């Protein structure tokens, strides 16, 4: 299965295409505001408003053999711990080897922004190259996850 932290995810169309190709369910988890998809391999999951409600829904379900797409580092860390494969929307994989560093960097940047309110930095815009890199990474992750999937699921 593919679980997507969908509220601000820029690669929903790419996820839908890969889910269809692999005949795998993709759960687009959101607090609302997303258009339903007619694709039978895509299910929109609308959770209650509140901090981290969508993240908790995903973290409670993600296991080995699943792929999670998120930019949320704490959610990624929980999913990695549960055995799921995690990708950021730019195609960067997060795993046991790098999620700790990503979490530490996130915390450091939060502290720096709190200390200097003018340090907000918007980052670089999402590009076609990012989209392509993500599609390739998701395809690779799906193939690897299918080999890890526990029997009976």
Per-residue pLDDT of 85-99, as tens digits, reads 999 999 999 988 877
Q: How far apart are CA 112 and CA 106, in angstroms?
A: 10
32 or 133, which is more confident: 133
For residue 4, count other CB atoms closer than 10 A to its CB: 26
Q: Rounded to an integer, what is the distance from CA 93 to the centroid of its chain? A: 10
pLDDT band at 27 (very low <50, low <70, confident <90, very high): very high
Residue 126: is its pLDDT beyond 90? no
Would the CA dihedral through 116, 52, 98, 10 be positive or negative?
Answer: negative
**Over pLDDT 70: what percentage of the chain?**
81
* Exposure string over 69-100, b if 16+ CB within 10 A, otherwise e: bbbbbbbbbbbbebebbbbbbbbebbeeeebe
pLDDT band for position 136 (cuts 50, 70, 90): very high
What percent of the chain is predicted at pLDDT more than 90?
59
User: Which residues, 6+ apart, have CB-to-CB distance to 54 below 8 Å?
Assistant: 5, 6, 7, 29, 30, 31, 47
- The pLDDT-based confidence of 70 (bands split at 50, 70, 90) is very high
Q: Over the range 20-43, which residues count as b (16 or more CB within 10 Å of their CB) and which as e?
A: eebebebbbbbeeebeebeeebbe
């Amino acid at each position: 299965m593919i679980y997507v932290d969908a509220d601000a995810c820029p690669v929903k169309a790419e996820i839908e295409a890969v889910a269809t190709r692999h005949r795998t369910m993709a759960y687009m988890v959101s607090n609302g505001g997303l258009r339903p998809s007619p694709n039978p391999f895509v299910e929109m999951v609308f959770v209650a408003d509140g901090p981290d409600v969508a993240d908790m829904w995903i973290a409670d379900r993600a296991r080995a053999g699943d792929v999670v797409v998120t930019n949320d580092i704490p959610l990624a860390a929980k999913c990695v711990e549960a055995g799921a494969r995690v990708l950021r929307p730019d195609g960067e994989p997060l795993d046991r080897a790098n999620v700790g560093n990503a979490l530490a960097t996130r915390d450091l940047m939060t502290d720096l922004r709190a200390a200097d309110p003018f340090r907000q930095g918007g980052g670089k815009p999402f590009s076609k190259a990012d989209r392509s890199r993500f599609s390739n990474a998701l395809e690779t992750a799906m193939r690897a996850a299918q080999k890890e999937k526990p029997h009976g699921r």
